[in-house]
Amino acid sequence: MRCGASCPYVPRLGVRLLVVLLIFGVLFRVLFLVVAVVLIFVVLLVFCVFLFFHAWYLR
């Protein structure tokens, strides 16, 4: 389907929507990576604190 001079703003709108979706996809991926890293650090910290208190309690 070719679009001539009758609707010049439709392809631009599609490109703009594509760019916005791409930016949101990249931001979502970065946010997901940050949340995953923070969750891993929190789990490791809680595990280390639990092991430390367990060893201190069994002393």
Does the pTM surpass 0.75? The reply is: no
pLDDT digits (tens, 9 = 90+) for 11-26: 667 788 889 999 999 9
Residue 3 CB partners (closer than 8 Å, separation 6+) = 10, 11
Residue 35 has pLDDT above 80, yes or no: yes
CA distance 48 to 53: 9
Q: How is residue 41 written in tokens?
A: 């650090």
